Amino acid sequence: MASFGLQYTNNTNTVVIDSEFARLMVITSGRYAPTQEQGLGSVTTFAQPVTSQEPPLVFVRPDTINGIAGLCRMRLLGAAGNWTGFYVRAYDVNAAGLNGRYFVSAFSAQPVAQYGMRLWDGSGNLLFDSGTPNATFTRAFQNWNYVKYDTSEQGLTRIYYSVPFNFPENEYLLLNTFGMHMTSGSGIPRNLYCWWDFPNNTLYAITIAATNPIAFFLPAVFAKLAA
């Protein structure tokens, strides 16, 4: 809470804008779609680069289908101060997921509005711009249920975890965490995948590795665009 400067609260007395603290600001948003690898890969270029030094947060919401939307291998494109887009891949040829909506955000604003209001903190960092709306974290799941394991065609151990989820249209999954490799019981890291099982209202996380521990605590984080 600011001791000086500007503070704005809404009609429920929640602080919306403050002179000292950045919020999760939406830099740009749009849709992603298959672009390569015979429909298995998707490269999305942001309408404008994200200029933060830290990697921005990419949230996605696959289009609702009568099946499974599987996503994996997310990576950001560009570099610090000039993040230009992101790549994501479908889980396999049997899983959809490469059609949907996204927004990219950072804990800072960018000067994009042609008119309106801007707010800086005491160090000159831009905290608010009329052209960058904010997003709100809604929930996170870390209490995954172990479901089963099987063996992939390459002889790797594949473990499935699940959590019940109702897939509301206005909630987006933080995709960055599902682009990471996880530690395993050998020198080969665990690859990480997620499934949106729409017919069964279930979110899955899947790990694959040569030596694959059962323990799994990675949170699935969701957010929504501010109204």
Which pTM value belongs to this model? 0.86
User: CB neighbours of 211 closer than 8 A, spacing ≥ 6?
Assistant: 157, 184, 185, 186, 188
What pLDDT was estimated at residue 33? 95
What pLDDT was estimated at residue 95? 72
Burial of 102 (0-12, 13-18, 19+ CB in 10 A): buried
Domain boundaries, the chain: 7-137, 138-225
What residue has token string 């680069």?
A: 49
- Cα–Cα distance between 76 and 25 in angstroms, integer? 18
Direct distance between the N- and C-terminal alpha carbons of the chain, in angstroms, rounded to an integer: 23
Mapping DSSP to helix (H, G, I), strand (E, B) and coil, where does residue 19 land?
A: coil
CA distances 80 to 16, 50, 114, 214, Å, are 28, 9, 25, 35
Instruction: Return the DSSP state at 129.
Output: E
- The total number of residues shown for the chain amounts to 227
Split at pLDDT 50, 70, 90, the class of 114 is: confident
What residue has token string 């709306």?
A: 133
Tens of pLDDT, residues 80-89: 999 999 999 9
The angle subtended at Cα 199 by Cα 208 and Cα 151, nearest 5°, is: 20
Comparing C-alpha atoms, which of 47, 26, 44 is closest to residue 35?
A: 44
Which amino acid is it at 100?
A: G
User: CB neighbours of 99 closer than 8 A, spacing ≥ 6?
Assistant: 31, 32, 33, 34, 62, 63
Tens of pLDDT, residues 126-165: 877 877 788 989 999 989 999 999 998 888 899 999 999 9
